[in-house]
Structure 1
């Protein structure tokens, strides 16, 4: 099943309809909050008397038309807000905006709480501005990234998140270091749970690397190896008493040189054959059998090896902590 897009591509007319509805709801929020504020001030006796003395006509009209029916008017706005939540939820389901149909009230929690007829909760609906700005930005009608206020908050938000994540990471790595030091069987558990289940893969990797390393080294140093073989054969023959006796015979020097060339050629061909045999299946199987027979002995644990393993892990974690301590945001913002 293909993943749903967080913001599905909608026709421009639908996007503009969303924008228009958002503006309507924001206007209703502003009017509702203004009425709440003014009616609260209207209940204060000194302010009430001041309004009555300054504009008695407005005072009487407001008292008769609005203040006496304020609960009904407020419930009308609450009805608009509830209808907004239900309608927007239905539209989100139709547009397949979220992965599940019931995600909408959790994502738009501020709209849901804004339906509660209390002034503090009504203020949450002002957060609708963020959703509106986001939609306008996606439609490229505005570019909030160029706003100095956005860059200011984005900068310190990024710094805050990085510092918090670094502190959490340092605490976690420190706890892991304590576990490494306190554990008496860490090395055994690493061998049993990490290395042994991958024994076949490790042996295969060792044989492949050995084959590649030896083959590459031979190809790079073949001329020097052949020269060394020729020099070794020549020196061995010169130091041999039998060859020295052969030199005293007629044509002995010629026979000695021919023997040297023949032996050098045989030795060089033998080394070449061995080098070619490195890439054979038989040699690979030999290496794998050798590695497998020595694998368990390589992993034998004693007090020294356990201490070395723990120290290596501890130092790796300490290196990671040093890396985390680097305040990378300074390089981005300075």
Structure 2
């Protein structure tokens, strides 16, 4: 249900224009109803049916139908008068920089006044403009109406379908250019990635440290036990180490000592690596990796390796974006 906010209407500084808007809105609706009725009456079958069942109505309206242009011109005269009054007010208030801007900006108010059958129905644009203006000033709220929800839903669905097809087409074109050896690769590497390698190093370093802290530190005891068990199992499978137990007197002791030492060394090394990754000291290590992958414009590198690796990565990223673009959000709102 469309409601009028009377408080905003009274407190506004354009009360007179809003009253004119309401009057014009009612007049346009009446005019459109008149045009539709006359278009229906134009059929001979309708005239004959009225003459047979409602002869008084047919006799009263037929002269109006024959002079339809005259009666419609009366409405047009009112519409044009209102248009020129608003134009004069815009000139006086200096709403626009040039005096001739108003008719170009408000072209929809003029085009429906052309007395041609196919253009008369464009007067509905004036209805839309008036309703939009009243809604913009919070005099009325059209978002709660069923008609607005219906039109807005299918408008958003249409725009999403259209934009998705355009975006997918553009992305496919980018992929095709990449496979043909486009200079996009060099632009991405030299103009985008290389100048931001420090930022990438910092971001990757932070993410690695967070992942190591969340995944390793709470479970380092279990991880150490697992590593020692795996090392013990590997050493037991080693034939050379197994032969040590056959040494007289000290064979078993040496074997057990070596197993414990190797297991402890491996566990300590891996533990130290993970602790380093979990701390801020990993930044230098990550920065070296990033610099190895992202080289400057003047760095020499194998052309095929340079192209194939990053091009494949970019194409996969674009494929992922295209998959996401194909998701129809408007369908999720369907009951």
TM-score after normalising by structure 2:
0.54
How far apart, CA to CA, are the structure 2 residues paired with 1:186 and 1:73?
A: 60
Match of residue 128 from structure 2: 130
1:288-307 equivalent positions in 2, closer than 5 A: 290-291=288-289, 294-295=292-293, 300-307=301-308
Native 8 Å contact 1:180 1:186 kept in 2: yes
- Looking at structure 1, the residues matched to 127 and 321 of structure 2 have their Cα atoms a distance apart, in angstroms, of 42
Map residues 173-192 of structure 1 onto 2, 5 A cutoff.
173-192=171-190
1:321 aligned residue: 322
How do residues 84-95 of structure 1 correspond to structure 2 at under 5 angstroms? 84-87=86-89, 93=95
| C-alpha separation in 2, matches of 1:328 and 1:161 | 11
Q: 2:106 aligns with which of 108, 113, 120?
A: 108
Stretches of structure 1 that go unaligned for 5 or more consecutive residues are: 1-8, 39-53, 94-99, 248-255
Task: Tell me the distance in 2 between the aligned counterparts of 1:72 and 1:222.
Answer: 89
Task: Call closer, same or farther: CA 1:292–1:141 in 2, change over 3 Å.
Answer: closer
**In the alignment, is the contact (CA less than 8 A) between 2:164 and 2:325 conserved in 1?**
yes
**Cα distance, 1:165 vs. partner?**
1.9
Unaligned runs of 5+ in 2: 1-6, 39-58, 236-240
Query: What CA deviation, in whole Å up to 9, does each residue of 1:225-264 have, x standing for no partner?
Result: 555798889x99xx7989949x9xxxxxxxx99xxx9xx9
- How far is 1:191 from its partner? 1.7
Match of 1:97 in 2: none
2:115 aligned residue (111, 114, 119): 119
Deviations 1:45-87 (A, max 9, x none): xxxxxxxxx99xx99xx9xxxx9xxx99987874443013332
**C-alpha RMSD of the superposition:** 5.6
> Do the aligned residues in 2 keep the contact of 1:29 with 1:122 (CA within 8 Å)?
no
Structure 1: how far apart are the matches of 2:205 and 2:75?
83
- 1:13-32 equivalences in 2 (<5 Å): 13-14=11-12, 16-25=15-24
Alignment partners' CA distance in 1, 2:31 and 2:227: 98
Deviation for aligned residue 1:111: 2.7
C-alpha separation between the residues in 2 aligned to 1:130 and 1:79? 19
Q: Is the 8 A contact 1:105 1:112 kept in 2?
A: yes
- Taking the aligned partners of 1:21 and 1:197, their CA distance within structure 2 comes to 60
CA distance in 1, matches of 2:283, 2:134: 66
TM-score (norm 1): 0.54
Pick the structure with greater CA Rg: 1
How far did residue 197 of structure 1 move? 0.6
Q: Could you tell me how far apart the structure 2 residues matched to 1:29 and 1:73 are?
A: 8
- CA distance in 1 between counterparts of 2:179 and 2:272 reads 51
Contact 2:205–2:282, Cα closer than 8 Å, also in 1: yes
- What is the alpha-carbon distance in structure 2 between the residues aligned to residue 185 and residue 11 of structure 1? 59
3-state SS of paired residue (1:183): coil
Q: Secondary structure at the match of 1:162?
A: helix
- CA drift at 1:20: 1.8
Q: 1:122/1:82 Cα in 2 relative to 1: closer, same or farther (>3 Å)?
A: farther
Q: CA 1:28/1:180 → structure 2, altered by over 3 Å: closer, same or farther?
A: same
Separation of aligned partners in 2, 1:142 and 1:229: 67
Q: 2:203 maps to what in 1?
A: 205
After superposition, the C-alpha distances for 1:81-138 in whole angstroms (9 at most, x for unaligned) are: 3013332676795xxxxxx777865553323556x7x425777555332234345657
2-structure distance, mates of 1:79, 1:161 = 37
1:203·1:288 contact (CA, 8 Å) conserved in 2? yes
CA distance in 2, matches of 1:308, 1:271: 30
State how far apart, in whole Å, the 2-side matches of 1:309 and 1:91 are: 59
- Local SS of the residue matching 1:163: helix
Structure 1 residue 144: Cα displacement? 6.6
What CA distance in whole angstroms lies between the structure 1 residues aligned with 2:248 and 2:160? 81
